[in-house]
Structure 1
Amino acid sequence: MWRISLFFRNIYLRITVTLLRTIYRLTRPTLPANNFNSKLQIPSRDKGRYIEARLYAKDSISANTTTNNDSANDTDIPQPILLNLHGCAMIFPAFGTDDEFCHYISKNTPHTIIDINYRKSPENPFPAAINDVQDTINWILSQPQKYDLSRLSISGFSSGGNLAIVAATTLMPAQTFHSVITFYPGVDMFSDPASKKAPDTKGKLIPPAIARFFHRCYIPYGIDSRDVRISPIFGDLGSFSSRLLMVTAACDNMAPEAEEFALAVERESGCDVVLQRMEGCEHGWDKNSNAGEIQEEAKWKAYSMAVDMLMK
């Protein structure tokens, strides 16, 4: 009987996600210009499958061309590297929405940025996305002649922020990352979303029912959501070994858990932690800001803080 129930559960999730993706494509803001230098195909652990990625760099790589895994950098000097992970609630086709951020980092730091299109649920639930992140990191680590591995950092927005933190706390050895940069991540998928209260309730909050649905899509039946690869707030934060930038939004019910995580890292590990709450901003505010609005000012402040963290 449970197999039948699980079958219909999966059918329900896939049909609902298909509908949500259709609405997302029809209603999302127009994507910014593609400022990346080249496209990459990064080999995954699954034979014959590659992880789609975009590379941003100051080097004169032909724009919008596909490169193989041996030609991502044409300079003889190893470059500092930032791996970026977009937000998508683990389900939406949002690859490319961090183009403005990646371009800004490329313009204002010496870093090469790799932005990857990790797999989405419910078709590819946990741990598919973190496997893609780990495979990409290992691919970067295998190329010390191209990348300055002492300056390898990772950034992420929303669900991508969760994956970035998981990479730093669980997937990779200590000292792998110079900096971990996160914007409004969720770090606790175990606690009931209805119990999460935003510091400022005036904005547009994520409804608990929607948050629960996202969690069901990502976390397979029978998997404990306290797994530190899902909810890194339950991990050993004393072993955190990177600089951490945590940017939260006041009108976001995930802000308290992210702020608690950052303060715990600072308290237990002694690492350099910068915690910034953006007042008057909602979850994902930087993707929907307009000139002259408080969200636009907060976006450039947050991106500038990322530059400062990377340049330390």
Structure 2
Amino acid sequence: MWRITLFFRNIYLRITVNLLRAVFKLTRPAPIPSQAHSTLNIPSRDVGRTITANLYTKDDPSPSLPQPVLINFHGSGMIFPAFGSDDEFCNHISQKTNYTIIDVKYRLSPENPFPAAVNDAEDVIRWVQGQPQKYDLTRLSISGFSSGGNLAIVTATAIMPKFTFRSVLTFYPGVDLASDPAGKFAPDTSAGKVIPARIARFFHRCYIPVGVDARDPRISPLFADLSGFGSKLLVVTAARDNMAPEAEQFVSLVKEQTGRGDDDVVLCRMEECEHGWDKTPSLGPVQEEAKWRAYLMARDMLRD
């Protein structure tokens, strides 16, 4: 009986997600041409499958090798096809630093639930590590937005060894998929739209298979052992985002468990900003300033 129930559950999730994706496509701003230098097809652990990624480099790249590299993961709620939505960030970082940027198109749920996206993230990282003549592994960093921020933190805390990454840069990440979203509240409730609890629960159902503990650190890094976290960390939250408190708690736990200070572990809350504010097509002056302040903080951490 449980198999029949699971079958119809999966059918429901897929139909609903396809409807949400259709709405997402209709309401999303028309995509601008990508500024990526080229497209990569990175080998996956799955025979015959590759992982698509966009490669960003300087317009006049330095001839010196190996190059520092930043691996980036876009936001998606783990279900939306938003690959390329970080194009402005990736191009900006590639032009203003010495870093090459690899922006990854990881698999989405419910077609490919946990651990598919995590496996893709790990496969890309190990592919980069396999090319020390091309990439400077002492300056390997990772970044992500929203669910992509979750993947960045997960790989740094629960997948890869302690000193794999020089810097971990995240923007409004979700780090606790185990707690009921109804109990999550934005620091600033005076205005703006938060992620409704029923929508967040649906995202979690799509991503986390039945029977899998959502407190698994590979899903919810808030519950990871952070005592061995050795990377520099940037976490940017939004005051009108009900996921902000968990990300800010994560930063506090990193400091508490590692004894590190504000120079290496940086938290910045952007006031008057909502979840994903930097991807909004028409930003107000406050949000526009916050976007470039966040990107500048990322640049500065990479340059250190």
| Alpha-carbon separation, structure 2, partners of 1:183 and 1:98 | 11
1:163 aligned to which of 144, 151, 155: 151
CA distance in 2, matches of 1:138, 1:149: 11
Q: Which stretches of structure 1, 4 residues or more, deviate above 2 A after TM superposition?
A: 30-33, 289-293
Q: Deviations over 1:61-104 (max 9, x none)?
A: 8xxxxxxxxxxxx9451000000000000000000000000011
Question: Do the aligned partners of 1:59 and 1:75 also contact (CA within 8 Å) in 2?
Answer: no
- Distance in structure 1 (CA, Å) of the matches to 2:34 and 2:207: 29
Partner of 2:297: 305
244, 252, 275: which one aligns with 1:255? 244
Contact persistence 1:32–1:100 (CA under 8 A): no
CA contact (8 A) 1:86 1:158 kept: yes
What is aligned with 1:46?
A: 46
Q: Partner residue of 2:103?
A: 115
CA displacement at 1:203 relative to structure 2: 1.2
Partner of 1:296: 288
The alignment's TM-score, normalised by the length of structure 1, stands at: 0.94
Q: Secondary structure at the match of 2:273?
A: strand
Q: Distance in 1 between matches of 2:182 and 2:102?
A: 35
The AA in structure 2 aligned to 1:93 is P
Counterpart check, 1:6 vs 2:6: yes
Aligned mates of 1:289, 1:94 — CA distance in 2: 14
The answer to whether the Cα contact below 8 Å between 1:126 and 1:219 also exists between their aligned partners in 2 is yes
- Mapping of residues 159-238 of structure 1, within 5 Å: 159-201=147-189, 202-238=191-227
CA deviation string 1:135-177 (max 9, x = no partner) = 0000000000000000000000000000000000011011000
- Cα offsets for 1:23-57 (capped at 9, x unmatched): 00110122233111000000000011000000000
What corresponds to 1:244 in structure 2?
Answer: 233
For residues 227 and 154 of structure 1, the distance between their equivalents in structure 2, rounded to whole angstroms, comes to 21
* Residue of structure 2 aligned with 1:132, choices 109, 113, 120: 120
- What CA deviation, in whole Å up to 9, does each residue of 1:84-131 have, x standing for no partner? 000000000000000000011011100000001000000000000000
SS in 1 for 2:271: strand
Q: Which runs of 5+ in 2 are unaligned?
A: none
Question: Cα distance, 1:292 vs. partner?
Answer: 4.8
In the alignment, the residues of structure 2 paired with residue 60 and residue 289 of structure 1 have an alpha-carbon distance, to the nearest angstrom, of: 29
Deviation of residue 270 (structure 1)? 3.1
Question: How many angstroms does 1:232 deviate by?
Answer: 0.5
Structure 2 match to 1:69: none
Q: Does 2:84 correspond to 1:96?
A: yes
Amino acid at match of 2:8: F
Question: Partner of 1:286 in structure 2?
Answer: 278
Q: Structure 2 length normalisation: TM-score?
A: 0.96
Deviations 1:286-309 (A, max 9, x none): 000535521111000000000001
- Contact 2:106–2:121, Cα closer than 8 Å, also in 1: yes
Match of 1:277 among 269, 279, 283: 269
Q: Which ranges of structure 1 fall in alignment gaps of 5 or more residues?
A: 62-73
Shift of 1:13: 0.1
Q: CA deviation at 1:226?
A: 0.5
Note if 1:15 corresponds to 2:15: yes
C-alpha distance in 2 between matches for 1:278 and 1:236:
27
Secondary structure in 2 matching 1:129: helix
Change (3 A) 1:49 1:75: farther
- Measured in 1, the distance between the counterparts of 2:24 and 2:282 equals 20
Give secondary structure in 1 for the equivalent of 2:272.
strand
Q: Percent of aligned positions with the same letter in both sequences?
A: 67
* Alpha-carbon separation, structure 2, partners of 1:309 and 1:90: 27
